């Protein structure tokens, strides 16, 4: 007979006797030891205490019996339970309505001594009642086993531990058993692709980084944290071993955590692990987006990143292969070399770094910068928005009409002779058409003066920003908030 680590009391109406099935004592390996059944008459004390109330051994046995009355996660089902749970709090986060920002509740990820992971939920009315610290071990008395949500699940268990009105939570400073610190659920590229846009379970992903916001990973890489904070996200091109390169969008807290961890390393980190990511089709390709439950780890933070870093250091030739799908050339490219790439039959859509010097601004061409309202991109050549330059012109020339053609601003003319590093995108229209107009997706800050290459025209500049990613994030927030509401029981 396998004991379930719980107790129940049944009453026989004819004899009025209660049967107490005491919980099995559980070893750290998860095996159970048989427990006895004690039969008591009404109002009769338990034999262990009535036999000799002054016996210290009996008191110790009773105390041990209470400690062992701890339910394991594998036994949690869909119903209220007057039982104890002993677990480590891995992570917790707020669930809010994406439109009103109203607090729905607090979600948690819990792990017990058997390494079983389950999701927890604190309703909005009780948020703040409990002192939660990630990594701490707790004992929870009284809870409600709710049905696990169907979408955006972060654990395999069919139930959710919902805190009820009579729940009591206490910290275990010295847990009697060893409880694992964490557990990850990894998916491969093929598995993410098969589950793309399904809004199903959220799995974890470990990889090595290729680009961060279009910049190649270097030893002296510096993140533009102001820009990331304004956009509320960043994009990392990631690759698992020698698999395909994917875009990974980190939003809000995940983006902030990425920046903090990235700076904390003495040298530029290479390995990235992000938990509970959502696979989506963005721009016709598979991309991963972080969720409010996501956590970020790098190089030596946890064992999986340590293992991956060891592989990376031993297989640098594989990790450094250039993928044609999303590529930034490690060496400085001239426009001549870039056009030569376009003419190759095997060429694909790609990104390149190109150092160029502005030698002229063609009069009569479109000098304005198409700015994205979502990410508030700036005309980086001048450091100002095009709208600001136009406004300054009309302010200085108050007599001109609204239909007056604004000449090229002096601020833009002053860029002539300056060298900049551009991120150039070779698009489909370059590969299938005959146009030689190259889209500039990013203009990096000025660097030390370098030899001039081939000049570029201001009309080449295009818009940056990922509105598809913004829309995807909005949809995820709405659905995730709906699923965060307290699950119903069966």
Rounded percentage of the chain residues whose pLDDT exceeds 90: 37
Which whole number is the average pLDDT over 71-97?
Answer: 93
The answer to whether residues 303 and 218 belong to one domain is yes
Residues 103-129: what's their mean pLDDT?
95
- Candidates 323, 209, 329, 224; CA nearest to 268 is 209
Query: What mean pLDDT comes out for the span 373-380?
Result: 47
Q: pLDDT-based confidence at 234, cuts 50/70/90?
A: very high
Alpha-carbon span 262 to 340, nearest angstrom: 36
CATH code where residue 259 lies: 2.40.50.140
How far is Cα 288 from Cα 306, in angstroms, rounded to an integer? 22
Going 157 to 182 to 479 to 205, the CA torsion angle's sign is negative
Closest CA to 249 of 195, 205, 190: 205
Residue 352 pLDDT: 77
Is the distance from CB of 192 to CB of 279 less than 8 angstroms? yes
Output the pLDDT for position 414.
80
Closest by CA position to 486, among listed 60, 122, 10, 58: 122
pLDDT at 23: 33
Residue 476 lies in a domain: no
Based on the domain organization, do 175 and 202 belong to the same domain?
no
Do both 311 and 339 map to the same domain?
Answer: no
The top-scoring range by mean pLDDT among 32-41, 57-66, 147-156 is: 147-156
Q: Is the pLDDT of residue 482 over 90?
A: no
Residues near 166 by beta carbon (within 8 Å), at least 6 away in sequence? 142
Residue appearing with tokens 């910068």: 369
Considering only residues 107 and 335, tell me which one the structure prediction assigns the higher pLDDT: 107
Does residue 488 surpass a pLDDT of 60?
Answer: no
Residue 23 counted as domain residue: yes
The encoded tokens of residue 448 equal 């030390």
What pLDDT band is residue 178 in, cutting at 50, 70 and 90?
Answer: very high
Q: Contact at 8 Å (CB) between 163 and 105?
A: no
In whole numbers, what is the pLDDT of the chain averaged over residues? 74
52: in domain: yes
Statement to judge: residues 141 and 247 lie in one domain: no
Q: What is the mean pLDDT of residues 110-134?
A: 95
Strands 419-426 and 245-251: unpaired
Which of the given ranges, 30-34, 42-46, 141-145, 340-344, has the highest pLDDT on average?
141-145
Please indicate, yes or no, whether residues 60 and 76 belong to a single structural domain of this protein. Answer: no
pLDDT of residue 481: 65
387 and 309 belong to one structural domain: no
**pLDDT attached to residue 146:** 93
Q: Of 183, 210, 241, which one is at a domain's C-terminal end? A: 183
Both tokens assigned to 371 = 């700015």
Same domain, 40 and 85: no
Q: Where are the alpha helices (DSSP H) in 69-121?
A: none
pLDDT in tens, 290-303: 999 999 999 999 99
- Whether residue 170 is contained in a domain is answered as yes
pLDDT tens-digit series, residues 442-457: 777 665 433 333 333 3
Instruction: Say if CB 392 and CB 416 are below 8 A apart.
Output: no
Nearest to 99 by CA among 475, 376, 487, 484: 475
Q: Whole-model pTM above 0.95?
A: no
Domain termination site, one of 157, 183, 209:
183
Question: Which of 319, 345, 365 is a domain's end point?
Answer: 319
For residue 273, being part of any structural domain is answered with: yes
**pLDDT, position 159:** 95
What pLDDT, on the 0 to 100 scale, is given for residue 378? 46
Distance CA 327, CA 425 (A): 10
Same domain, 159 and 251: no
Residue 12 structure tokens: 């026989």
User: How long a stretch of residues is the chain?
Assistant: 490
Q: Which residue has the higher pLDDT, 69 or 107?
A: 107
| Run of H or E residues at 118 | strand 117-123
328 located within any domain: no
Neighbours of 322 (CB within 10 A): 13
Residue 105's contacts (CB-CB under 8 Å, 6 or more residues apart) are 94, 95, 121, 122, 123, 124, 127, 484, 485, 486
Would you say residue 125 lies in a domain? yes
Query: What pLDDT does 349 receive?
Result: 74
Helix (H) or strand (E) holding 296: strand 296-298
Tokens 């031993």, residue located: 314
Residue 32 has pLDDT above 50, yes or no: no
What would you report as the CA-atom Rg of the chain, rounded to the nearest whole angstrom?
30
Q: Is the pLDDT of residue 323 over 60?
A: no
Q: Is the same domain home to 265 and 364?
A: no
In contact, 281 and 287? CB cutoff 8 Å: yes
Residues 339 and 457 in one domain: yes
Query: Does the pLDDT of residue 31 top 50, yes or no?
Result: no
pLDDT band for 54, please (50, 70, 90 cuts): very low
297 touches 306 (CB < 8 A): no
- Domain of residue 20 covers 9-65
Q: What's the CA angle centered on 424, arms 422 and 430, to 5 degrees?
A: 155
Q: Which residues contact 96 (CB under 8 A, 6 or more apart)?
A: 102, 103, 104, 481
Nearest partner of 120 among 138, 98, 97, judged by Cα: 138
Inside any domain, residue 487: no
pLDDT of 90 strictly over 80 = yes
The residues, any chain, with a CB within 8 Å of residue 32's CB and separated by 6 or more, are: 2, 3, 5, 24, 25, 26
Angle value at C-alpha 238, between 303 and 437, nearest 5 degrees: 165
Residues 201, 164 share a domain: no
Q: Which of 209, 199, 212, 213 lies closest to 278 in space, CA to CA?
A: 199
Q: How many domains does the chain have?
A: 4
Residues 228 and 279 in one domain: yes
DSSP SS3 for 204: strand
């Amino acid at each position: 007979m396998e004991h379930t680590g719980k107790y129940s009391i049944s009453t026989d109406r004819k004899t009025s006797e209660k049967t107490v099935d005491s919980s099995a004592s559980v070893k750290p390996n998860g095996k159970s030891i048989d427990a006895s059944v004690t039969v008591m008459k009404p109002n009769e004390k338990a034999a262990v205490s009535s036999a000799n109330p002054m016996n210290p051994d009996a008191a110790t046995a009773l105390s041990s019996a209470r400690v062992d009355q701890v339910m394991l996660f594998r036994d949690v089902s869909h119903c209220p339970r007057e039982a104890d749970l002993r677990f480590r709090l891995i992570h917790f986060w707020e669930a809010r309505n994406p439109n009103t920002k109203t607090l729905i509740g607090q979600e948690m990820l819990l792990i017990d001594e058997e390494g079983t992971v389950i999701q927890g939920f604190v309703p909005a009315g009780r948020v703040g009642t409990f002192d939660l610290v990630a990594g701490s071990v707790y004992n929870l008395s009284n809870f409600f086993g709710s049905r696990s949500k169907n979408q955006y699940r972060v654990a395999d268990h069919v139930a959710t531990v919902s805190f009820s009105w009579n729940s009591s939570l206490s910290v275990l400073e010295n847990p009697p058993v060893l409880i694992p610190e964490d557990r990850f659920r990894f998916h491969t590229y093929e598995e993410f692709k098969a589950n793309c846009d399904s809004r199903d379970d959220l799995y974890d992903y470990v990889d090595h980084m290729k680009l961060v916001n279009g910049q190649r990973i270097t030893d002296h890489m510096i993140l533009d944290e102001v820009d990331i904070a304004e956009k509320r996200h960043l994009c990392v091109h990631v690759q698992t071993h020698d698999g395909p390169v994917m875009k990974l969008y980190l939003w809000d807290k995940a983006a902030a955590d990425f920046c903090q961890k990235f700076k904390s390393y003495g040298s530029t980190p290479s390995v990235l692990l992000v938990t509970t990511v959502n696979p989506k089709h963005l721009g016709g390709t598979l991309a991963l987006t972080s969720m409010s439950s996501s956590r970020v780890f790098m190089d030596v933070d946890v064992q999986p990143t340590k293992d991956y870093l060891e592989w990376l250091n031993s297989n640098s030739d594989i990790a450094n292969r250039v993928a044609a799908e999303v590529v930034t050339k490690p060496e400085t490219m001239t426009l001549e070399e870039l056009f030569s790439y376009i003419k190759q039959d095997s060429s694909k859509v790609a990104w390149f770094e190109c150092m160029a010097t502005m030698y002229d601004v063609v009069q009569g061409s479109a000098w304005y910068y198409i700015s994205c309202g979502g990410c508030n991109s700036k005309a980086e050549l001048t450091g100002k928005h095009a709208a600001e330059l136009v406004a300054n012109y009309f302010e200085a020339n108050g007599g001109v009409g609204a239909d007056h053609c604004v000449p090229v601003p002096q601020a833009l003319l002053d860029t002539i002779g300056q060298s900049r590093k551009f991120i150039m995108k070779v698009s489909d229209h370059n590969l299938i058409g005959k146009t030689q107009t190259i889209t500039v997706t990013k203009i990096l800050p000025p660097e030390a003066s370098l030899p001039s290459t081939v000049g570029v025209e201001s009309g080449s500049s295009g818009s940056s920003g990922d509105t598809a990613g913004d829309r995807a994030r909005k949809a995820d927030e709405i659905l995730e908030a709906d699923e965060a509401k307290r699950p119903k029981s069966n």
